[in-house]
Amino acid sequence: MFDTFWDAKTARILFTALTIAVILAFLYGARQTLTLFLFAVLFAYLVDPLVSYLEKPLRGRTQAIGAVYLLLIGLLVGVGFVIGPKIAEEGRSLATSLPSLIDRIGSGQLVFQIGQTHGWSQQREAQIQSVFVAHRADILNYAKSIGESLAEPAQHIWWLILIPILSLFFLKDGQNIADNLIELARTPEETTMVRGIVRDVNVMLGSYIRAQLILSAFTAVAYTVVLSLMKVPYAFILGPVSGIFEFVPTVGPAIAAVGIFAIAALTSYPHLAWLVVFLGTWRLVQDYVNSPRVMGKSLEISPLVQLFAVLAGGEIAGVVGALISVPAVAGLRILWRRMSKYKPAEEQPAPSLFKSDRFRRFIARPQRGGVPVATVKLPESDQS
C-alpha cells in the first residue's frame, strides 16, 4: 500500500525543490548582511593590489595591510581638510533650499524665472507654467520618492566603518578561502572546474572594481573642476556625487547628468546650453575614450545586458542592487561558461580480449604448425 503512493524519484525532486526554496528564503532574509559582506569583498579587491605590492618589502602581509590602511586614512584626512569645509557648506545650503525649489517647480514660479532669464515669450511661459501647475501633485510625489530612494543608503552609514573591518579578514585569509572552495571538489575534473571559476571571478572582480574606481575618480575631478569654473551652484557637491553614481553602469551617469541639469535650472543658472554641451562631451569622452582603455574586457557583457541588470537590480534591492547587479551577472556568466565546459569523468570499460596488449603480443609470436610459440634466444655457446 505504501509503495503505491511513494516514488523515490518524485521524493528526491520535491526534496531538492524544498532545499532550494529554503536557501532562497534564507538569502532574502539575510540580504542586508550578505550585502554588507559583499561590499567588504569588493573593498578587499580594491586594495589588494597595493597590499600585494607592499607585502614583500614590508616582509609580511599583515604589515602590508596595516600600511595600506594607514595610507588610506591619511588620504581621507588630507582630502577632508582641503575640500571638506566647502562640501559641508554647500551640502547644508542645498539641503536647506531644495524643498523650496521643488515647491517653486510645482507652483510654476521657476518657469517664470527661467523664461525671463532666457527671453521666453509670455505665451510660452504661460503654457509651460500651466503644465507644471496641472501636474503639481505628481511632481511632488516623484520628488519625494526620489529623495527617499537616495536617502536609503544613508540609513546604512555605519557600514562605512564595518566594511573596512570585515575586509581585513578577506585580505588576510582570501587565499585560504579560495583553497577551501577548491578542496570541496570530489574529482580531478571538478577540481579543475572550481579552480577555473575561482580564478576567473578573482580576475573579473579585481579588474572591474579598480576600473570603476578610476572612472569614478575621473568623473568626480572633471565635474568638480569644470562646474566650479562655470560657476554652477553646488559644484563641490555635484562633482563627488556624480563620481559615486559612476559606479552604476549606464544608468548612474545618466541620473547624475539629469540631476546636475535640474539643480542648475532650479537655481536659475544662466548658461544651461553650455552646461548641456559639457555634459554631453564628457559622456562621449568617458564612454568611448576612457572606459575602453581602463575597463578593457573585464566584464565581456554587452551594454544592453548591463542596462537590464542595473534596472532589475534596482527593482529588487534598490540602490544597493543597482550597484552590485553588473558584477553579479558577470559572475553568473563565468559560472555558466565553466560549468558548460565541465565533463564528468566516465568509467572506462574494461578492454576487450581481442584489443588487449597481451593478445597482440601473443599473435605476434612466430607460428609452428599453426600454433603460436615463443621465441627463445639461446646463448652463443649453445647456438653452435
DSSP labels, 250-261? THHHHHHHHHHH
pLDDT values of the chain reduced to their tens digit, one per residue, 384 residues: 445 556 677 777 787 788 888 887 887 777 777 778 888 888 888 888 888 888 888 888 888 889 989 998 888 888 778 777 877 777 777 777 767 766 666 666 666 666 666 666 667 767 666 766 676 677 667 666 666 665 565 566 677 788 888 888 888 887 788 878 778 777 777 788 888 888 888 888 888 888 888 888 999 999 999 999 998 888 888 888 898 888 877 778 888 898 888 888 878 788 888 999 999 999 888 888 887 777 665 566 777 777 787 778 777 766 677 777 778 888 888 888 877 776 665 544 544 444 445 545 545 555 444 444 444 444 444 444
Vertex 142, ends 138 and 143: CA angle to 5°?
Answer: 115
Q: Are 233 and 269 in contact (CB under 8 A)?
A: yes
C-alpha radius of gyration, the chain, whole number: 33
- Quickly list H helices, 246-371: 251-266, 272-285, 291-295, 303-341, 357-363
Q: Are 322 and 168 in contact (CB under 8 A)?
A: no
> What one-character DSSP code corresponds to residue 77?
H
Q: Are 11 and 138 in contact (CB under 8 A)?
A: no
CA 298/CA 279 separation, integer angstroms: 26
Q: Which of 23, 40, 24 is nearest to 316 (CA)?
A: 24
Q: What's residue 112's pLDDT?
A: 66
Q: Which cell numbers hold the place of 117?
A: 532669464
pTM of the model: 0.67
Q: Which cell numbers hold the place of 357?
A: 596488449
**Residues in a beta bridge with 371:** 368
Q: What's residue 281's pLDDT?
A: 93
Q: Which cell numbers hold the place of 236?
A: 563641490
Q: Which of 175, 301, 188, 183 is nearest to 249 (CA)?
A: 301
Residue type, 297: K
Q: Are 260 and 232 in contact (CB under 8 A)?
A: yes
Q: What's residue 26's pLDDT?
A: 80
CA 61/CA 57 separation, integer angstroms: 10
Alpha carbon 230 to its chain centroid, in Å, reads 33
Q: Which of 199, 191, 167 is nearest to 37 (CA)?
A: 167
